[in-house]
Amino acid sequence: IAGITQAPTSQILAAGRRMTLRCTQDMRHNAMYWYRQDLGLGLRLIHYSNTAGTTGKGEVPDGYSVSRANTDDFPLTLASAVPSQTSVYFCASSNKEEGGELFFGEGSRLTVL
Amino acid sequence: GQNIDQPTEMTATEGAIVQINCTYQTSGFNGLFWYQQHAGEAPTFLSYNVLDGLEEKGRFSSFLSRSKGYSYLLLKELQMKDSASYLCAVRDSNYQLIWGAGTKLIIKP
């Protein structure tokens, strides 16, 4: 089934640990995004990639890094997790040539203790 | 700064009509999106407006006035499954999406 897959779906992590959230899409979309969603706030963009090999910083990039080695994969890494990074993380992709509608993964719920 | 405003919560009755408003102030405008998000799930695309006017898609319609920085999502013949959060997002001059905090719609029988 075509779409966008995230892993893990849920994780509890000790502060200071390193964590990578995985995201894979099979729609051949050129653009990919990582958002975090917190109660009472809108989706906030962490990092994005307009095409394979390029990445950019979003609204809240501090403490996070990404890579885009190929079209399909866009992992998000927390180098040293802190409790304020407790959130639901959504990966999304879009094809800008087709209007830019975002397709979202099912989300990764991360708790940092 | 950039800002998207929408009501935090609305309540409506099954079978009725509800209008969810969204006002925005952004650096440039390249389209407005509405997404639906059920609790614990990912957002899913509902509609896209880039020109003024009404776009109708089944029971859902979306309206845009660029001069007023205003949009609304109209849901007709409400069903219990329409209970969800509705997210308004504007694409700015840098083609980045600015998101509202969402409107939680509660449908009562």
Give residue A100's pLDDT. Answer: 78
Report the candidate in A104, A112, A24, A33 with the shortest Cα–Cα distance to residue A72.
A24
Bridge partners (DSSP) listed for residue A88: A37, A109
Given this model, what pLDDT does residue B96 score? 85
Pick A7 or B1 by higher pLDDT: A7
Indicate the residue of A48, A90, A101 with minimum beta-carbon distance to B45.
A101
- What is the rounded distance in angstroms from the CA atom of residue B63 to the CA atom of residue B54? 4
B97–A contact, CB cutoff 8 A: yes
Task: For A60-98, write each residue's pLDDT tens digit.
Answer: 999 999 999 999 999 999 999 999 999 999 999 998 765
Report d(CA A58, CA B44) in Å as an integer: 21
Q: Are B100 and B22 in contact (CB under 8 A)?
A: yes
Determine the pLDDT at residue A4: 96
The answer to whether B89 touches B100, Cβ cutoff 8 Å, is: yes
- Tokens representing B76? 């007709």
Q: What was the pLDDT predicted at B95? A: 82
pLDDT number for residue A98: 59
Residue B71: per-residue pLDDT: 98
- CA-nearest residue to B38 within chain A is A106
Mean pLDDT by 10 residues, chain B (109 residues): 92 98 94 96 95 95 97 98 97 89 96
Largest separation between any pair of C-alpha atoms in chain B: 43
How near does any CA of chain A get to the CA of B31, in Å?
9
Q: Do B48 and A99 touch (CB under 8 A)?
A: yes
Instruction: Sort out which chain A residues have CB atoms less than 8 A from B98's CB and list them.
Output: 42
| B69 lies within 8 A of chain A by CB | no
pLDDT band at A40 (very low <50, low <70, confident <90, very high): confident
**Rounded mean pLDDT, A39-62:** 93
- B42/A90 Cβ within 8 A: yes
* CB-based contact A41 B101, cutoff 8 Å: yes
pLDDT at A31: 93
